[in-house]
Amino acid sequence: MSLLVTAAVVAMVVFVGIHAWPTFEHNGLSWLGPGGNLETQIETMQAAGVNPPASAYHLNAWPLVYGTLLTTSVAVVCALVISVLSSIFIIELAPASLRRLAVPVIRLLASVPSVIYGLIGILVLVPFVGNHLITSSEKASVQNTVELTGAGLLVTVVILTVMITPIMIALICEALVSVPTSWREGAIALGLNPLRAVLAVTVKAIRPAIVAALVLATARALGEAIMISMVSGSRSFAPRPSDGLVFLFEPLRTLASAIVDYHEGLGAPALSSTLYAWAFVLLFSAFMLSVAGYLIKLPLRRYQVRG
């Protein structure tokens, strides 16, 4: 039984790798770099038919990689702050009645399907941002390159943050509970006020758990496909910070959401191989994340708090 699981993982890496190979073979590592227009490149692939020439594989996936990195990192940083604060609130500050309410709420937020988040995003938040937050002069300022509808970076990051925060809270809360009360009481006895004591002693003690939560949340944010495909505007465009505030409203696309957007093109070998290459990048980064999490946690183990 157990070996079956391992076999499935090995098979996954092998199959995705095999299908992705032609892309890497034709492009090398410049595949990840910027250059060219991604959407025309993909149209070339679709047009190339069943026996694509080598030139059809040409692709520069930078807008997608950039979109993925951007959404993931911003959302994870926001979620980290919010989740540490609200875990402290739930465990240390909230009155017992509120705490009893908060725990099921967190669990509920963690289990809402991503398609529901996407639906709320595309039907409520996107029109709101499009109609009320974006002024027409802002729309005019970038009309030569992209059309601003409201779907874009801001909505994506907000929803992504709401999606990954509960996961982090669950892990952090669990660790907070396992820190001995006497540590904190010792700090209070030394003259710290209760909040300082929590921040200085308890939060420091659960650093391995916070790292674990970060890793898990990053993995989740990297792989989120459906929700982002619904609310991100789905343009292979790399938002430009030089545009000022408009930057927040520019559409983008991530590796995972691009797979969803183009899955109907799986029949064309060049495009299909490209999709598998994106999947391979995701798989590789998920794997690297768990390795990194393990390595970071090692020196922190001496705090003897399970993470």
Distance CA 192, CA 134 (A): 46
Options 22-30, 51-59, 235-243, 272-280: segment touching another protein (CB under 8 A): 272-280
> Does 301 help bind another protein (rule: CB under 8 A)?
no
For 251, the 3-state DSSP assignment is: coil
Tell me whether residue 133 or residue 199 sits nearer to another protein (CB atom): 199
162, 205, 252, 270: residue in contact with another protein (rule CB under 8 A): 162
Give 252's strand partners.
Answer: 233
- Least Å distance, CB 244 to another protein, is 27
> Does 256 help bind another protein (rule: CB under 8 A)?
yes
Nearest one of 58, 86, 233, 75 to 164, comparing CA atoms: 75
Binding residues among 177-216 for another protein as defined by CB under 8 A: 177, 180-182, 185, 193-196, 199, 213, 216
> Does 85 help bind another protein (rule: CB under 8 A)?
yes
Binding residues among 20-39 for another protein as defined by CB under 8 A: none
Tell me whether residue 110 or residue 243 sits nearer to another protein (CB atom): 110
Tell me whether residue 174 or residue 243 sits nearer to another protein (CB atom): 174
32, 48, 94, 142: residue in contact with another protein (rule CB under 8 A): 94
Please answer whether residues 252 and 232 qualify as being in contact, where contact means their C-beta atoms are separated by less than 8 angstroms. Answer: yes
| Whole-Å CA distances, 258 to 18, 42, 61, 63, 280 | 20, 11, 10, 11, 13
Options 9-17, 36-44, 54-62, 132-140: segment touching another protein (CB under 8 A): 9-17
Nearest one of 61, 38, 56, 75 to 279, comparing CA atoms: 61
The Cβ of residue 115 has, within 10 Å, a number of other Cβ atoms equal to: 11
